Amino acid sequence: MKIAILIRVYDRIEDLKYNLQIISDTWKDNDYYIIVVSNGLTKGYEVSPESLPLIDKLVVLEENAGHRKGNSQLLLEGAKYIPEDCDYTLILEADTWLYGDKLLTKYTRLLSENSGAVWSSADWYDKYYALATDFAIIKTKYIRENPGIFDFELFPECHISNFLRDTNAGYIWITENMPVHVPSYIKYAYPYVPNIKEGRFYVFPKSKTVTHHIEYLKEGIQKKKYYFNILADHDYFPEAKAGCKAWNRFKMRFWIGLTKCFVKRSWYGKKTYKEIMN
Protein backbone atom coordinates (compact mmCIF):
# COMPACT_ATOMS: atom_id res chain seq x y z
CA MET A 1 0.00 0.00 0.00
CA LYS A 2 1.23 3.50 -0.81
CA ILE A 3 0.65 6.11 1.88
CA ALA A 4 1.43 9.83 1.82
CA ILE A 5 3.10 11.21 4.93
CA LEU A 6 2.47 14.93 5.31
CA ILE A 7 4.89 16.33 7.88
CA ARG A 8 4.60 19.94 8.93
CA VAL A 9 7.37 21.89 10.64
CA TYR A 10 8.07 25.41 11.80
CA ASP A 11 10.99 25.53 14.22
CA ARG A 12 11.48 21.87 15.21
CA ILE A 13 14.11 21.21 12.57
CA GLU A 14 16.21 18.90 14.76
CA ASP A 15 13.11 16.87 15.62
CA LEU A 16 12.34 16.59 11.90
CA LYS A 17 15.83 15.28 11.14
CA TYR A 18 15.50 12.41 13.61
CA ASN A 19 11.88 11.73 12.66
CA LEU A 20 12.82 11.24 9.01
CA GLN A 21 15.66 8.97 10.07
CA ILE A 22 13.29 6.85 12.20
CA ILE A 23 10.77 6.56 9.37
CA SER A 24 13.47 5.52 6.90
CA ASP A 25 14.94 2.93 9.28
CA THR A 26 11.86 1.39 10.91
CA TRP A 27 8.75 1.93 8.74
CA LYS A 28 8.81 -1.08 6.42
CA ASP A 29 5.20 -2.30 6.01
CA ASN A 30 4.16 0.11 3.27
CA ASP A 31 5.38 2.30 0.44
CA TYR A 32 5.62 5.90 1.64
CA TYR A 33 5.70 9.24 -0.15
CA ILE A 34 7.03 11.89 2.24
CA ILE A 35 5.95 15.51 1.94
CA VAL A 36 7.53 18.06 4.28
CA VAL A 37 5.98 21.52 4.48
CA SER A 38 7.90 24.23 6.32
CA ASN A 39 6.98 27.83 7.11
CA GLY A 40 9.88 28.79 9.36
CA LEU A 41 12.52 29.84 6.82
CA THR A 42 11.97 33.59 7.34
CA LYS A 43 12.84 33.07 11.02
CA GLY A 44 15.98 31.09 10.20
CA TYR A 45 14.55 27.56 10.52
CA GLU A 46 15.91 25.82 7.44
CA VAL A 47 15.52 22.11 6.78
CA SER A 48 18.97 20.56 7.17
CA PRO A 49 20.75 19.27 4.03
CA GLU A 50 21.12 15.78 5.54
CA SER A 51 17.31 15.51 5.70
CA LEU A 52 16.74 16.27 2.04
CA PRO A 53 17.49 12.77 0.65
CA LEU A 54 14.74 11.36 2.91
CA ILE A 55 12.07 13.75 1.57
CA ASP A 56 10.15 13.12 -1.66
CA LYS A 57 8.63 16.60 -1.81
CA LEU A 58 9.81 19.63 0.18
CA VAL A 59 7.53 22.67 0.23
CA VAL A 60 8.96 25.84 1.77
CA LEU A 61 6.51 28.67 2.34
CA GLU A 62 7.95 32.17 2.22
CA GLU A 63 5.10 33.69 4.19
CA ASN A 64 4.10 32.47 7.65
CA ALA A 65 0.42 32.83 8.47
CA GLY A 66 1.23 33.15 12.18
CA HIS A 67 0.54 31.05 15.26
CA ARG A 68 -3.24 30.83 14.94
CA LYS A 69 -3.30 29.97 11.25
CA GLY A 70 0.17 28.47 10.73
CA ASN A 71 -0.76 24.84 11.31
CA SER A 72 -3.69 25.13 8.94
CA GLN A 73 -1.52 26.85 6.35
CA LEU A 74 0.93 23.95 6.34
CA LEU A 75 -1.76 21.31 5.95
CA LEU A 76 -3.67 23.16 3.24
CA GLU A 77 -0.51 23.69 1.21
CA GLY A 78 0.86 20.19 1.74
CA ALA A 79 -2.41 18.56 0.69
CA LYS A 80 -1.87 19.93 -2.82
CA TYR A 81 1.08 17.57 -3.30
CA ILE A 82 -0.47 14.28 -2.20
CA PRO A 83 0.01 11.80 -5.08
CA GLU A 84 -3.04 10.41 -6.81
CA ASP A 85 -2.05 6.82 -6.02
CA CYS A 86 -1.98 7.31 -2.22
CA ASP A 87 -5.29 6.08 -0.82
CA TYR A 88 -4.36 7.20 2.70
CA THR A 89 -2.55 10.19 4.13
CA LEU A 90 -0.85 10.44 7.50
CA ILE A 91 -0.59 13.96 8.88
CA LEU A 92 2.32 14.11 11.28
CA GLU A 93 3.94 16.73 13.48
CA ALA A 94 7.71 16.89 13.05
CA ASP A 95 8.23 16.22 16.77
CA THR A 96 6.04 13.08 16.87
CA TRP A 97 8.33 10.04 16.63
CA LEU A 98 6.89 6.55 16.12
CA TYR A 99 9.07 3.43 16.24
CA GLY A 100 7.91 1.14 13.46
CA ASP A 101 4.74 1.43 11.38
CA LYS A 102 2.59 -1.42 12.74
CA LEU A 103 0.18 1.16 14.19
CA LEU A 104 -0.20 2.85 10.82
CA THR A 105 -0.80 -0.46 9.07
CA LYS A 106 -3.41 -1.49 11.66
CA TYR A 107 -5.50 1.66 11.36
CA THR A 108 -5.34 1.96 7.58
CA ARG A 109 -6.74 -1.59 7.52
CA LEU A 110 -9.50 -0.65 9.97
CA LEU A 111 -10.39 2.39 7.87
CA SER A 112 -10.50 0.24 4.74
CA GLU A 113 -12.96 -2.09 6.45
CA ASN A 114 -15.23 0.76 7.59
CA SER A 115 -16.81 2.58 4.66
CA GLY A 116 -18.28 5.29 6.88
CA ALA A 117 -15.03 6.25 8.64
CA VAL A 118 -12.56 8.61 6.99
CA TRP A 119 -10.32 9.68 9.89
CA SER A 120 -8.37 7.91 12.63
CA SER A 121 -6.55 9.53 15.56
CA ALA A 122 -6.63 9.82 19.34
CA ASP A 123 -9.48 11.33 21.33
CA TRP A 124 -8.07 14.70 22.40
CA TYR A 125 -10.41 16.12 25.08
CA ASP A 126 -12.68 14.55 27.65
CA LYS A 127 -15.23 17.38 27.57
CA TYR A 128 -15.48 18.07 23.84
CA TYR A 129 -15.56 15.96 20.72
CA ALA A 130 -12.03 16.50 19.44
CA LEU A 131 -9.57 14.47 17.40
CA ALA A 132 -5.78 14.68 17.60
CA THR A 133 -3.92 16.20 14.67
CA ASP A 134 -0.31 15.37 15.58
CA PHE A 135 -0.74 11.80 14.27
CA ALA A 136 -3.85 11.20 12.17
CA ILE A 137 -4.62 8.86 9.29
CA ILE A 138 -7.14 10.07 6.71
CA LYS A 139 -8.66 8.67 3.55
CA THR A 140 -7.08 10.82 0.84
CA LYS A 141 -10.27 10.94 -1.19
CA TYR A 142 -11.99 12.68 1.72
CA ILE A 143 -9.26 15.35 1.87
CA ARG A 144 -9.60 16.04 -1.87
CA GLU A 145 -13.37 16.29 -1.66
CA ASN A 146 -13.35 18.32 1.58
CA PRO A 147 -10.35 20.69 1.68
CA GLY A 148 -12.07 22.67 4.44
CA ILE A 149 -11.11 19.91 6.88
CA PHE A 150 -7.78 21.72 7.30
CA ASP A 151 -9.13 25.28 7.28
CA PHE A 152 -9.06 26.31 10.94
CA GLU A 153 -7.57 28.81 13.38
CA LEU A 154 -8.44 27.99 16.98
CA PHE A 155 -9.02 24.53 18.47
CA PRO A 156 -8.03 22.45 15.43
CA GLU A 157 -8.94 19.20 17.20
CA CYS A 158 -12.49 20.44 17.80
CA HIS A 159 -12.72 21.81 14.26
CA ILE A 160 -11.95 18.35 12.89
CA SER A 161 -14.72 16.71 14.92
CA ASN A 162 -17.19 19.43 13.99
CA PHE A 163 -16.29 19.12 10.31
CA LEU A 164 -16.70 15.35 10.30
CA ARG A 165 -20.09 15.76 11.99
CA ASP A 166 -21.21 18.30 9.39
CA THR A 167 -20.17 16.06 6.49
CA ASN A 168 -21.66 12.90 8.03
CA ALA A 169 -18.24 11.25 8.17
CA GLY A 170 -17.11 8.84 10.85
CA TYR A 171 -13.83 8.25 12.64
CA ILE A 172 -11.90 5.60 14.55
CA TRP A 173 -9.99 6.33 17.74
CA ILE A 174 -6.35 5.28 17.95
CA THR A 175 -6.64 3.94 21.48
CA GLU A 176 -2.91 3.21 21.79
CA ASN A 177 -2.37 6.98 21.94
CA MET A 178 -4.95 7.56 24.70
CA PRO A 179 -5.47 9.12 27.15
CA VAL A 180 -3.75 12.27 25.94
CA HIS A 181 -4.32 14.49 28.99
CA VAL A 182 -4.57 14.24 32.75
CA PRO A 183 -7.74 15.85 34.22
CA SER A 184 -7.53 19.63 34.37
CA TYR A 185 -7.94 19.72 38.17
CA ILE A 186 -4.47 18.18 38.61
CA LYS A 187 -2.38 21.24 39.35
CA TYR A 188 0.90 19.67 40.47
CA ALA A 189 3.64 17.61 38.82
CA TYR A 190 2.53 14.30 37.38
CA PRO A 191 4.87 11.64 35.94
CA TYR A 192 5.42 11.91 32.17
CA VAL A 193 3.55 15.21 32.01
CA PRO A 194 6.46 17.68 31.76
CA ASN A 195 4.20 20.74 31.44
CA ILE A 196 1.39 20.46 33.99
CA LYS A 197 -0.31 23.61 32.67
CA GLU A 198 -0.81 21.80 29.38
CA GLY A 199 -1.55 18.55 31.19
CA ARG A 200 -0.48 16.36 28.29
CA PHE A 201 1.34 13.05 28.15
CA TYR A 202 4.27 12.91 25.77
CA VAL A 203 4.99 9.18 25.89
CA PHE A 204 2.68 6.44 24.62
CA PRO A 205 4.21 3.01 25.30
CA LYS A 206 1.44 1.05 23.58
CA SER A 207 2.18 2.70 20.24
CA LYS A 208 5.93 3.27 20.84
CA THR A 209 5.49 7.01 20.36
CA VAL A 210 7.16 10.06 21.89
CA THR A 211 5.94 13.57 21.12
CA HIS A 212 7.90 15.75 23.56
CA HIS A 213 8.39 19.43 23.04
CA ILE A 214 12.06 19.37 23.96
CA GLU A 215 11.94 22.74 25.73
CA TYR A 216 10.03 20.97 28.51
CA LEU A 217 12.88 18.48 29.07
CA LYS A 218 15.90 19.46 31.19
CA GLU A 219 18.22 17.48 28.93
CA GLY A 220 16.43 18.50 25.74
CA ILE A 221 16.72 16.26 22.70
CA GLN A 222 18.98 13.83 24.57
CA LYS A 223 16.20 13.02 27.04
CA LYS A 224 13.73 12.55 24.21
CA LYS A 225 16.10 10.05 22.59
CA TYR A 226 16.35 8.26 25.95
CA TYR A 227 12.56 7.92 26.17
CA PHE A 228 12.44 6.74 22.56
CA ASN A 229 15.00 4.01 23.27
CA ILE A 230 12.87 2.80 26.19
CA LEU A 231 9.77 2.53 24.01
CA ALA A 232 11.68 0.96 21.12
CA ASP A 233 13.13 -1.60 23.54
CA HIS A 234 16.60 -1.15 22.14
CA ASP A 235 19.11 1.67 21.95
CA TYR A 236 18.13 3.05 18.57
CA PHE A 237 20.02 6.19 19.60
CA PRO A 238 23.29 4.76 21.00
CA GLU A 239 24.28 8.13 22.45
CA ALA A 240 21.26 7.98 24.82
CA LYS A 241 21.50 4.44 26.18
CA ALA A 242 18.64 3.45 28.47
CA GLY A 243 18.80 0.71 31.08
CA CYS A 244 15.90 -1.20 32.66
CA LYS A 245 13.70 -0.58 29.63
CA ALA A 246 10.95 -3.02 30.65
CA TRP A 247 10.71 -1.44 34.11
CA ASN A 248 10.56 2.04 32.65
CA ARG A 249 7.80 1.03 30.24
CA PHE A 250 5.88 -0.50 33.14
CA LYS A 251 6.11 2.81 35.02
CA MET A 252 4.84 4.70 31.99
CA ARG A 253 1.90 2.35 31.56
CA PHE A 254 1.13 2.51 35.28
CA TRP A 255 1.01 6.30 35.56
CA ILE A 256 -0.89 6.70 32.31
CA GLY A 257 -3.32 3.93 33.22
CA LEU A 258 -3.87 5.35 36.71
CA THR A 259 -5.56 8.40 35.22
CA LYS A 260 -8.45 6.18 34.15
CA CYS A 261 -9.40 6.06 37.83
CA PHE A 262 -9.56 9.86 38.16
CA VAL A 263 -12.96 11.55 38.07
CA LYS A 264 -13.67 12.84 34.58
CA ARG A 265 -16.44 14.91 33.11
CA SER A 266 -17.44 12.00 30.88
CA TRP A 267 -18.48 10.09 34.02
CA TYR A 268 -21.39 12.43 34.63
CA GLY A 269 -21.94 14.28 31.37
CA LYS A 270 -21.80 13.57 27.66
CA LYS A 271 -19.28 15.11 25.33
CA THR A 272 -20.41 18.20 23.48
CA TYR A 273 -19.37 19.90 20.26
CA LYS A 274 -17.44 23.08 20.92
CA GLU A 275 -18.65 26.21 19.20
CA ILE A 276 -15.58 27.82 17.67
CA MET A 277 -15.40 31.55 17.06
CA ASN A 278 -12.42 32.20 14.79
Closest CA to 108 of 138, 83, 128, 130: 138
Q: Is residue 220 part of a domain?
A: no
pLDDT in tens, the chain (278 residues): 899 999 999 999 999 999 999 999 999 999 999 999 999 888 888 999 999 999 999 999 988 777 678 899 999 999 999 999 999 999 999 999 999 999 999 999 999 999 999 999 999 998 899 999 999 999 999 999 999 999 998 899 999 999 999 999 999 999 999 999 999 899 899 999 999 999 999 999 999 999 988 888 999 999 999 999 999 999 999 999 999 999 999 999 999 999 989 988 777 878 999 998 76
Q: Is residue 242 part of a domain?
A: no
Q: Is residue 15 part of a domain?
A: yes
Q: Is residue 187 part of a domain?
A: no
Q: Are 99 and 228 in contact (CB under 8 A)?
A: yes
Backbone angles phi, psi at 38, to 5 degrees: -125, 140
Range of the domain at 75: 2-175
Q: Is residue 234 part of a domain?
A: no
Domain with residue 24: its CATH number is 3.90.550.10
Q: Is residue 107 part of a domain?
A: yes
Q: Is residue 88 part of a domain?
A: yes
Closest CA to 20 of 58, 73, 63: 58
Q: What is the pTM assigned to this prediction?
A: 0.95
Q: Are 24 and 5 in contact (CB under 8 A)?
A: no
Q: Give 251's Cβ-side CA count (13 Å radius).
A: 10
Q: Is residue 267 part of a domain?
A: no
Domain count along the chain: 1
User: Cα–Cα distances in Å, from 128 out to 158, 165, 253, 273, 276?
Assistant: 7, 13, 25, 6, 12
